[in-house]
Copies of this chain bind each other. A is one copy, B any other.
């Protein structure tokens, strides 16, 4: 081995390809031989790096959830510290971070809400917990921006906006506008959706 970074490369390479394949054909639709072939080794060679196929999925899902949560927390701290532009800036930062993730790691976003039930109980609980904390982080920020929005509808609104932002994998054809334009569009739509949710809740 050359450097420590290269040592972990093989593992990361496997995870990356596994994520792509899982997202394309589903966890049960992909065999270990295919995953091996995708990284140039074949079949059981994977078991030198992972105890099993389940472990790959678990590591992927836990990793995604953790990354989203820690990234979100970091953004809330940073954007909250400078305190410019009020609470709206914090929400903008959260949205921007989620869009970056959705656009850059499409397979992971797809897996994230599609294959959760294939996990062992303990792993699923962990992922669910991380996801819930991420949602609560958003709910707080959203209610900071729109104080008249009660908590239950705010939570539903956050889930709905996740659905909106995570829709990017579906329109993967090279027809649509460029990355920056897509990100701007999604950002505007998310803000508008939250604003309308608050407006509707205030009337009701």
Contacts and interface: CB of A to CB of B under 8 A. Distances in A.
Contacts of A186: 160
A170 B164 contact: no
Contact of A114 (B114, B157, B167): B114
A69 interface: no
Interface in A2-29: 24-29
Nearest to A110: B114
A152 B164 contact: no
A63 interface: no
Given A152-B177, A192-B197, A197-B188, A167 B162 contact: yes
A153 B171 contact: no
Interface string A178-202: 0001101111111111111101110
22 contacts: A26-B117, A27-B28, A28-B28, A152-B177, A153-B181, A156-B182, A159-B170, A160-B164, A160-B186, A162-B170, A163-B163, A163-B167, A163-B170, A164-B164, A181-B204, A184-B204, A185-B197, A185-B201, A189-B194, A192-B193, A192-B199, A195-B196
